[in-house]
Structure 1
Amino acid sequence: MTILTDITTLKDIKLLVDTFYAKVQKDEFIGPIFNEKIGNRWPEHLEKMYRFWQTILLEVHSYSGSPFPPHKQLPVAKEHFDRWMEIFTATTDSLFVGPLAEEAKLRATNMAEMFNYKIEYFRNAAENLKL
């Protein structure tokens, strides 16, 4: 039996990100949305995610930018974010244990909630403009 450790290195981040997105790509519910949006740019997306999580968890400031705008127009709802979190939590728990693993799940939860809120806000604002 493998003893799980915490997320401590870029190698750990890459393992988490690669494992998670491999599951996302195959998921019947959210996979088609990601695969259509990202297309053949998965390597570029994964590199960006490595830098994002390295900045968030390891305080190595390798990511800059705003993560929300690329997600603003996605055809997603709360159920999609719930599934994303289900996969992220299960992946994290299967690979790591410790304070940074818990921090990753907390940050992912907060991000999912914020993205869902903002997408709904912009969607409702656009609908109200049409009225």
Structure 2
Amino acid sequence: MTIHDITTIEDIKLLVNTFYEKVQNDDLIGPVFNEKMIGRWPEHLEKMYRFWQTLLLEEHTYSGSPFPPHKQLPVNQTHFDRWMEIFTKTVDSLFVGKLAEEAKLRAANMAYMFNYKIEYFRNQGNQ
């Protein structure tokens, strides 16, 4: 397989499917995802295809707010670090180029913001 940049919806699907297969089998974050996604993995994957297609290919197929479904997850910085580790390794194993780097940057920004917001809302509940 020749490694190239992310350029098509097929590339997005390969990235998303490969990544979430690793996530589902991960000892740390797998249980969190698998419990939340019971019976809904196909729906989630379709949503992730559209999300990354919109971000990377500028084909506007996703609409919505990605954060609210994550607000109550029992996760912390360790979970986000693992998520980023898996995501980065997945991208690097499949793609190289500008959009591959953009995917990793956007994922890192999202992980940081999601963790920050989850901690914020968690701390607001304790006041």
Q: Please report the TM-score for the alignment, with normalisation by the length of structure 2.
A: 0.99
Aligned residue type for 1:19: T
Is 1:34 the counterpart of 2:33? The answer is yes
Separation (CA, whole Å) in 2 of partners of 1:112 and 1:40: 25
Is 1:125 the counterpart of 2:103? The answer is no
Superposition misfits of 4+ residues, deviation over 3 angstroms: none
Separation (CA, whole Å) in 1 of partners of 2:2 and 2:12: 17
What is the match of residue 88 of structure 1? 87
What is the match of residue 50 of structure 1? 49
Q: Please report the TM-score for the alignment, with normalisation by the length of structure 1.
A: 0.96
Aligned residue type for 1:81: F
Deviation string 1:15-61 (CA, Å, 9 cap, x unpaired) is: 00000000000000000000000111000000000000000000000
Aligned residues: 127
Aligned residue type for 2:90: T
Is 1:107 the counterpart of 2:100? The answer is no
Q: Displacement, 1:123? A: 0.2
Q: Which runs of 5+ in 1 are unaligned?
A: none
SS at match of 1:5: coil
Q: Which runs of 5+ in 2 are unaligned?
A: none
Q: Displacement, 1:3? A: 2.7
Separation (CA, whole Å) in 2 of partners of 1:97 and 1:109: 17
